[in-house]
Amino acid sequence: YIFLINTITLAQPEFIFNRCGKTGNYTTNSTYTTNLHATLATLPTTNSGLGFFNFSIGEGNNTANSIALCQGDVDADICSSCLNDSIVNLQKLCPNQKEAIIAYGKCLLQYSNNYLLVYPQNIDHFIQFNPGMATDISGFNAALRPLMDELRGTTAAGGPLLKFASGNRTGPGFSRIYGLVQCSPYLTEQQCSECLEEEVTMIGRHDNGKIGGKISIVATTTPPPPLQSPRPPGDEENTSRIVIIVIVILTIILVIIIASLCAFMRLRKKNKRTPARLNERIQSETIDIGTPESLQYNFSRIKVATDDFSQENKLGVGGFGAVYKGKLEDGRKVAVKRLSKFSGQGDLEFKNEVLLVAKLQHRNLVRLLGFSIEGSERLLIYEYLPNSSLDNFLFDPEKRTCLDWEKRYNIIIGVAKGLLYLHEDSRLKIIHRDLKASNVLLDEEMNAKIADFGMAKLFSPEETQGNTDRIVGTYGYMAPEYSKHEMITGQKNQHYRNGENIEDLLGFAWESWNNGTGSDMIDPTLKRGP
């Protein structure tokens, strides 16, 4: 959307608008409900590093897809806070609806049972303007259009990780026109440019010299309603189902916002390694640590094994990409992670998995069989575990009955043994840093195997603590014992449900302990048996 506001009158509610889908509802205990809660709980952990989030889970009509996008110049804490507020409030505003979207001043969130990372065939508009008028309308427009054309080109050429630009230009009778432009990063350069061109054209048609306003071009999976004249923000709520594809914000200010420009320049100067350089680096470093050459698989071989990465073989989608089931020519079943081209952490995860996990051998760690690099494609090949991940059992009302206390205890012990090996017994001292139920896989006998070492950190034998210079995963620190609490209660620690109330699991545990009702924390399945 395009946002035109004089900063002197910027004191407005952060909330912008929301839309609730009209194509269907879900029932409280349905599979889609479980998948939706899972994808919204996991979504904040999938940050590309540049404010784009994407996560999907489930199959067929029960697939829950979610995406989120933060304004390109906001810091990580503001982005995380905005996203968390959006998740909570959107479910209140659109209860039991399969599709919904919400936009705040610094972020937007959308979920749907339809695939989201596509260029829209249908679009809708959201328009809002400040009633104030420029004193020199022709001069205002003459300064505005070149600025927006420049930002449009810079944004569209931003690459697959971040499409964002900001700038300013002197206008008649005032200090500066400040512009900020952003596209969803999965759009191609041409798609982004076309969307922005349409919005820039709409400015001249609808603003008529107004000094502030907002225009949104949003995607719909059904034919959009006729374009309506500008209305107050409150009247724009609860209309047709949409998917926001592009955010374009234009703000007229009296003072140059230098901080935003500096933030943009820092983002533009980030190191951009090409796949070829990554391949060379992986090849050289795997040789340095003694990794056998047999770990490298031919890409065409894996493509055949997964039936060209068909939807039927897709096991799930995480923050770094999709995972597919495959069968090699010798009959072995494998799990293939195809790293997403939109994941800013993909290169780091790929390197960590190959350089660290390939040398680890323990019955409670998922075994990495190999990797493949071809062009921009990056694949990680693991052993196939038929029972998927622990969260699929723990948070499913039906499957959780299979987890009696003996099985849960064995899983806890298995995870502990895997961590002990990583911390004390392996040749490399490794801190996992991303231990959660979805990263604990289960074999055919329900034995636990720790997976996903993309955020792992290598320590020297004498080190007992360390620092990190970049944000990864979920913001903030979560002690490992919290995952153990999930095993006992059968609920996520971030979204614990107590009757009709949703609260923090740790807070409920403390309250129950003080009230002498600690047994209320135990999963009811363990009390009554399967």
Instruction: Tell me which amino acid residue 392 is.
Output: N
Highest mean pLDDT among 11-20, 203-212, 330-339: 330-339
106 by DSSP, 3-state: which?
A: coil
Beta pairing partners, 66: 55, 111
Q: Check the CA dihedral 216-217-219-223 and report its sign.
A: positive
CA nearest to 503, candidates 527, 484, 516, 520 = 520
Give yes or no for a contact between 66 and 114, defined as CB atoms under 8 angstroms apart: no
Cα–Cα distance measured from residue 329 to residue 305, given in angstroms and rounded to the nearest whole number: 7
Model confidence at 522: pLDDT above 70: yes
Q: Domain locations in the chain?
A: 2-268, 289-383, 390-528
Model confidence at 360: pLDDT above 50: yes
Cα–Cα distance measured from residue 70 to residue 47, given in angstroms and rounded to the nearest whole number: 10
Q: Cα(first)–Cα(last) distance of the chain, in Å? A: 52
Q: Which residue has the higher pLDDT, 37 or 251?
A: 37
Give yes or no for a contact between 214 and 4, defined as CB atoms under 8 angstroms apart: yes
423 by DSSP, 3-state: which?
A: helix
What does the angle CA 518 – CA 519 – CA 525 come to, to the nearest 5 degrees? 145
Q: Which residue has the higher pLDDT, 406 or 288?
A: 406
Superfamily of domain 2-268: Gnk2 domain, C-X8-C-X2-C motif (3.30.430.20)
Query: What pLDDT, on a 0 to 100 scale, did the predictor assign at position 305?
Result: 94
Identify the helix (H) or strand (E) that includes residue 191. Answer: helix 189-206
Query: What pLDDT, on a 0 to 100 scale, did the predictor assign at position 301?
Result: 93
Cα 355 to chain centroid, rounded = 25
Strands (E), 32-74: 52-57, 64-70
Does residue 337 have a known ligand-binding role? yes
Give yes or no for a contact between 456 and 433, defined as CB atoms under 8 angstroms apart: yes
- How confident is residue 377, by pLDDT bands cut at 50, 70 and 90? confident
Phi, psi at 386, each rounded to 5°: -70, -25
Cβ contacts of 436-439, under 8 Å, gap ≥ 24 = 436/391, 436/483, 437/389, 437/390, 437/391, 437/394, 437/395, 437/483, 437/486, 437/492, 438/42, 438/318, 438/389, 438/390, 438/391, 439/389
- How confident is residue 470, by pLDDT bands cut at 50, 70 and 90? low
Q: Which of 347, 434, 452, 523 is catalytic?
A: 434
Q: Check the CA dihedral 73-21-90-67 and report its sign.
A: negative
Cα 338 to chain centroid, rounded = 16
For the domain covering 289-383, report its CATH number: 3.30.200.20
Q: Which residue has the higher pLDDT, 414 or 130?
A: 414
CB atoms within 10 A of CB 442: 21
Would strands 333-339 and 321-327 be described as parallel, antiparallel, or unpaired?
Answer: antiparallel
Assign 3-class secondary structure to 455-485.
Answer: CCEEECCCCCCCCCCCCCCCCCCCCCHHHHH
- How confident is residue 199, by pLDDT bands cut at 50, 70 and 90? confident
Burial of residue 401 (number of CB atoms within 10 Å: 0-12, 13-18, 19+): middle
Identify the helix (H) or strand (E) that includes residue 408. Answer: helix 405-420
For the domain covering 390-528, report its CATH number: 1.10.510.10
What does the angle CA 220 – CA 225 – CA 228 come to, to the nearest 5 degrees? 120
Report pLDDT digits (tens) over 207-255: 666 666 666 665 554 333 343 444 444 444 444 444 444 444 444 444 4
What does the angle CA 290 – CA 278 – CA 163 come to, to the nearest 5 degrees? 150
Highest mean pLDDT among 65-79, 201-215, 296-310: 296-310
Report pLDDT digits (tens) over 113-140: 888 877 665 566 667 676 677 777 777 7
Model confidence at 194: pLDDT above 90: no
CB atoms within 10 A of CB 528: 8
Cα–Cα distance measured from residue 12 to residue 4, given in angstroms and rounded to the nearest whole number: 13
- How confident is residue 202, by pLDDT bands cut at 50, 70 and 90? confident
Q: Which residue has the higher pLDDT, 423 or 358?
A: 423
Phi, psi at 375, each rounded to 5°: 60, -125
The answer to whether residue 434 is catalytic is yes
